[in-house]
Structure 1
């Protein structure tokens, strides 16, 4: 009976630890994302810290988060701005083609709309897979990193589809006043912790690739 109580107590402590981590890291991510331009570095910091925890590498939350936030900051800012610009341009072009196709549904306009949808999806795929790359190859040439991220999105296509669905969690939480309150506490950290768990094989593949080329 004591063994059962001990295991239950241990599981409750583990659950409580993860609740605290998810909530506190979410607040830190929200604070660091307030300047808007720093959203990507905040996401990378949260992802790297959750990756540590997923691999049972215990570290202090606040100190480690800010350490990860500022390291390679200029590289993360450049990559984040490039991807944000690419997504913005792709979405802008998509809306234009969609409006044109609505007025003139010719094959060319319809094809153009689908091409823009593919472009938006491609940038999103690349954005998601830069997370595991930023914690393994942070100083890689940015163009090479984006190409490698695109390769990974194809190699792990099922994880990619799941990752896109996970990315919709913050959007879903913004739909009602009640869930908006949840967004403050878990809206950003929830998809990031799920990515840390989902991409463990991806990180392992990248690290093994690095050892093979060493």
Structure 2
């Protein structure tokens, strides 16, 4: 996300040495090397905000990189040098989750909820986005199950999610990862976590695997329909 570029910039407190530039614009989300214009040091000189500009002409928007100070020295008897290391940029615009259209056709509501959870994560609302991912998973599994067995729609809608996976998901790969996604998703809603060694990243990976196997199943079905044998 950040490179290791080191150079000096002008600030309200004089020139300082910064380390790191963002490699993606938070507004257009393209890979960039931004222009660094000017830095602002807070009153206590503990934080630096650096004004940056996206070089992409279709974007051409300014944003901030936020830096914190560290002292670096090769030997305790030598004078230490102060460097400002980048921590993050401002949020800018939200990007959509990179999910294939196949899933959107199965469950448009899943896409809506998942992207809202994804936006919460981009806003660093990490204590609530997990619950959003868990809700999105429920819509994905139930809409997928209904697409496989439309006659059971009312039963599936009212059934607990784990019961839907057990009774209405026949693909063993989808069943295996979806169950584990539910376990971690439930952890995001409870006071005490059952799976202490797992986190939000693991939950997202399991949802992504669920999506992957659903997509593979649908792709296989499409080729079987186009090329009957």
TM-score, normalised with respect to structure 1: 0.28
Structure number with greater CO (CA < 8 Å, separation at least 6) is 1
Q: Over alpha carbons, which structure has the higher Rg?
A: 2
Higher helix share: 1
Higher strand share: 2
TM-score, normalised with respect to structure 2: 0.27
